[in-house]
């Protein structure tokens, strides 16, 4: 499975930066506009930079590109557009054949940007792709019919929310609080603050979309 890292201009906490560095060697890397600054601080060269360049020094980007010594593909977007820089970056990654997306610099800071990026996770899973959004303490991902599993060594808490209406046939096995063929709605946080208890955990839904929020200490299988 081809993986893609997308780095936005938002906050890049220490844990997220460390996770990014661990993945960088084997992923296609896109800087979404000002995310280029984060990558430069980490001495990571992206494969592409995409944006309207309202949060990065476009003069430097274009000068390097014009000279032919820009080490990355430059995709300029109009300032007035119907998609965010992050959404355009995801589209670019999909065009390159990526199926798994790791989004950094897209959570925290402006709440509207964070919510927009959560919606992008839902859009990815509806295309049978998987996305992960990395915040300061938690990671968010979306699932539909394909379950998500955590190793017994996982620690801390996790939460499960319905996105975009109701999710039915919800199953949570191996956690402190179990669900069996339950229905979750997007106006009642029934799945908030579940706990790992030293057993393998699996979460799935028969229909609908679930958002899973878990700590960095959790270990996906």
Question: What's the CATH code of the domain at 167?
Answer: 2.60.120.320
> Do 12 and 111 have their domain in common?
yes
Q: Give a yes or no: residue 141 inside a domain.
A: no
User: Which pTM was predicted?
Assistant: 0.92
Q: What is the pLDDT of residues 84-117, one digit of tens each?
A: 999 999 999 999 999 999 999 999 888 999 999 9
Q: What is the pLDDT of residues 159-183, one digit of tens each?
A: 999 998 899 999 999 999 999 999 9
Q: Give a yes or no: residue 221 inside a domain.
A: no
- Please give the residue range of the domain that contains residue 208: 148-215
CB 18 within 8 Å of CB 110: no
Domain count, the chain: 2
- Where the chain has pLDDT below 50, the residues are 66
Q: Give a yes or no: residue 142 inside a domain.
A: no
Q: Give a yes or no: residue 13 inside a domain.
A: yes
Alpha-carbon distance 52 to 84, whole Å?
Answer: 9
Of 136, 157, 181, the residue at which a domain comes to its end is 136
Dihedral angle sign, alpha carbons of residues 29, 34, 37, 42: negative
> Do 201 and 119 have their domain in common?
no
CATH number of the domain that residue 120 is part of: 3.40.50.10240
């Amino acid at each position: 499975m081809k993986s893609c890292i997308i780095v936005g201009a938002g906050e890049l906490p220490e844990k997220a930066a460390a996770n990014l560095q661990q993945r960088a060697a084997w992923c296609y890397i896109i800087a979404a506009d000002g995310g280029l600054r984060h990558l430069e601080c980490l001495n990571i060269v992206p494969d592409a930079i995409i944006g309207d360049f309202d949060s990065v020094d476009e003069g430097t980007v274009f000068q390097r590109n014009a000279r032919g010594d820009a080490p990355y593909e430059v995709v300029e977007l109009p300032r007035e557009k119907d998609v965010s820089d992050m959404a355009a970056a995801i589209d670019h990654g999909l065009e390159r054949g990526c199926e798994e997306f790791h989004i950094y610099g897209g959570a925290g800071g402006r709440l509207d940007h964070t919510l927009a990026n959560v919606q992008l996770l839902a859009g990815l899973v509806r295309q049978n792709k998987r996305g992960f959004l990395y915040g300061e303490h938690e990671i968010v991902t979306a699932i539909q019919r394909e379950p998500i599993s955590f190793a017994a060594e996982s620690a801390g808490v996790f939460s499960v929310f319905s996105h975009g209406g109701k999710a039915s046939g919800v199953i949570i096995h191996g956690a402190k609080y179990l669900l069996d063929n339950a229905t979750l709605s997007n106006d009642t946080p029934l799945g908030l603050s579940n706990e790992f208890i030293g057993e393998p955990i699996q979460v799935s839904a028969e229909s609908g979309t679930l958002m899973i929020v878990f700590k960095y200490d959790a270990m996906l299988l």
